[in-house]
Chains A and B, each alone.
Chain A
Amino acid sequence: MSDVDQPAPAREIRERFGFLRRSYAMLIKEFIQLKRDRVSFAMIVMLPVMQLLLFGYAINTTPHNLPSAVLLQEDSDLARSILKALENTAYFRFLYEVHDVEDFDNLLKSGKVLFGVEIPRGFERAVRRGDRPALLVAADATDPVAASAAIGSLGMVVQTALKHDLYIGNPPEMPFEIRAHARYNPAAVSSLNIVPGLVGTILTMTMLIFTALSVTREVERGTMESLLSMPIRPVEVMFGKIIPYVLVGFVQAFLIIGIGVGLFGVPVLGNLFLLALLSTLFITTNLAIGYTISTLVQNQLQAMQMSMMFFLPSILLSGFMFPFAGMPAWAQYVGECLPLTHYLRIVRAIMLKGATMQNLHFDALALAVLMLLAMTIAVTRFRRTLD
């Protein structure tokens, strides 16, 4: 402390543009903190890439090597060729061949197999007589997606097998009804629908968590006390904390869409600028909601839990996992209150259908309203004192 006695040079204080200046100070600070937080920084890139690859490659709604059992009550050529045909599809893998109903039930109950085919006694004879006998199928419907797709494929497979094996000539009518159930066609098409949906879900998850932790982190680290003693207003704190992450969200959206187009051949039929604009709106809405959560809770753990409370219905009720139109009315009302619902419509419409603003103004407006609502709550809830 050699120059202790030198007075600090008095510096002029600018009064104008105080709002922008203070928001900017906050923004720079948040950027530096984000840059320092290597793990968070890595997650920004890793999360979308990992999710996209998992959904695109690993998660396939068409079944593959489904562990199956067969209950053979007659040992006929027709029965054998049906089984062969089923195995040839690669959908099923017959692990067990049983002759007793109880064994069959136990296999399904224990989860050793997810799928069972029962060929009843006198099956072949009944077919030849043209009696349209029942080929009983039992599927473990705890995984409805796999089960329904498997059942759907079954009809066709058996049909084909019968056609080849019935050397007595084609019967006038098919011995089985064809019921094609496949919810998604081949894998490429399912990722068509999933990539745009993933843009929305990944953004919801990351944006929410980033801002949900922001205020509580300051409180827990003790920096809030110092921040509150400085002349900064709640709305300035909010903008300073939200804006850096708009950029982060933008990078993520770009990554997901880029990989979707490059790896999975998802088209972007609509206007890229419109997509970017509405994505920014969606990102900001989520950040505002996360920030609101941050002002409502006491610590970071609560913030995480509350984010999950919001994230779960977003995934389930937005139309990402299950078709929106299939939900009961009350669930649709809840869904309409979630930003993800509106964004999914926007992003799917722009990417896959080439929609324009005229088609989307309702959903865009809904996002804007939700954003303003969240921001208003956040600013009024922000505690300016430590009381």
Chain B
Amino acid sequence: MSGGNGIAIDVKGLTKSFGGREVVHDLSMQVKRGSIYGFLGPNGSGKTTTIRILCGLLTPDSGEGTCLGFDIRRDAEKIKRQVGYMTQRFSLYQDLSVRENLEFVARLYGLRDARGAARDMIKRLGLSGREEQLAGELSGGWKQRLALGACTLPSPKLLLLDEPTAGVDPKARRDFWNEIHALAADGLTVLVSTHYMDEAERCHEIAYIAYGHLLVHGTVEEVIAKSALTTYTVTGEDLNELTPALTGKPGIDMVAPFGTSLHVSGRDVAALETSIAPWREKSGLRWHKSSPSLEDVFIELMSRSKDNFQ
């Protein structure tokens, strides 16, 4: 069904504007079947719009492609049958109970024995005992879990999750990601957008999108390598004074405090080393060269793309 080449999503040149403002610009991407693909980028970067185009909720202004082997323009109805979409905002019925929401979804997709399917899902989600509770009265974490349950109920081949863990506590987030990995192990393809770096690192592949442009994609290691960023980590006293002193110096693209240390990064190694030289020997400061973290890479990408597109 997916063209047999192991690609779940294959789109080229997607562009979408709202009221003259281009939200997605010439976006191309490929997602392998059974993989977890992370979608990162600042707020308003076009992540949600891209996801909505993929599941047929929006029609692109230009561009083409396939989702599970179906044309995203012509076969939206077929795509909807096999795609589970979890919206950013909780979009199940707040005034329906957990059980009623799941039964609604099961009936809509035509599952045989909708009641049984809902019952099994409640058990699987660990929501037993809460099945008669109204969805609107659940806590954030439980709502999340219910929403995931609802979109996996009809056994989709592709899951599109739009910031599924926003506002959820760390324990619930970890459970959520374990569940996603379990689903991917069953052969499900997952496209997930997130702001959390630890979540990005749990993806098989990631893409960084800013102001509608897909800037970089690949595995976490590849993305870090592609950034060509050199990072020095400084620990010691008076780091607060160091930040303003280093910011803006030639070769220094970014100075970011990380707890008790400071990350000083730049793409031009020689210039960077010249600029930090006066402080290298200062007592009380310990410098060592490290590879940049994913966060360093993204913050640097974000500040760079801001200059380019705004």
Contacts and interface: CB of A to CB of B under 8 A. Distances in A.
A4 B107 contact: no
A231 B196 CA distance: 31
B57 A8 contact: no
B182 interface: yes
A225 B87 contact: yes
B107 A8 contact: no
A28 B91 contact: no
A33 interface: yes
A125 B16 CA distance: 93
A171 interface: no
Given A13-B154, A223-B92, A225-B91, A21 B110 contact: yes
B52 interface: yes
Given A8-B124, A11-B113, A229-B57, A36 B108 contact: no
Interface in B165-188: 175, 178-179, 182, 185-186
Contacts of B120: 8-9
A222 B126 contact: no
Contacts of B59: 385, 387
Interface string A1-26: 11111111111111100100110111
A4 B176 CA distance: 10
B178 A4 contact: yes
Contact of B126 (A1, A11, A28): A1
A8 B90 contact: no
B110 A226 contact: no
B204 interface: no
A60 B178 CA distance: 72
A25 B101 CA distance: 10
A29 interface: yes
Given A8-B121, A25-B104, A33-B96, A231 B109 contact: yes
Interface residues of A, number: 43
A4 B92 contact: no
A263 interface: no
Given A11-B117, A222-B87, A386-B52, A230 B94 contact: no
Given A5-B182, A13-B112, A229 B80 contact: yes
Contacts of A385: 56-59, 76
A2 B126 contact: yes
A231 B52 contact: no
A229 B107 contact: no
Nearest to B90: A222
Contacts of B109: 13, 230-231
Nearest to B180: A4
B152 interface: yes
A29 B94 CA distance: 12
Given A33-B96, A223-B91, A386-B52, A231 B179 contact: no
Given A1-B178, A11-B112, A11-B117, A24 B107 contact: yes
Contacts of A168: none
Given A2-B126, A386-B58, A226 B108 contact: no
A173 interface: no
Nearest to A25: B107
Most buried by B among A6, A11, A221, A227: A11
A100 interface: no
28 contacts: A3-B123, A4-B175, A4-B178, A5-B185, A8-B121, A8-B153, A9-B120, A11-B154, A11-B155, A15-B110, A18-B110, A22-B108, A29-B93, A29-B100, A32-B96, A33-B93, A224-B91, A225-B91, A226-B85, A227-B91, A229-B57, A229-B83, A229-B85, A231-B77, A231-B80, A385-B59, A385-B76, A386-B52
Given A8-B152, A29-B104, 18 more contacts: A1-B179, A2-B126, A5-B182, A6-B124, A8-B124, A8-B153, A11-B155, A13-B111, A14-B112, A32-B95, A37-B95, A225-B87, A229-B85, A229-B87, A231-B77, A384-B76, A385-B56, A387-B58
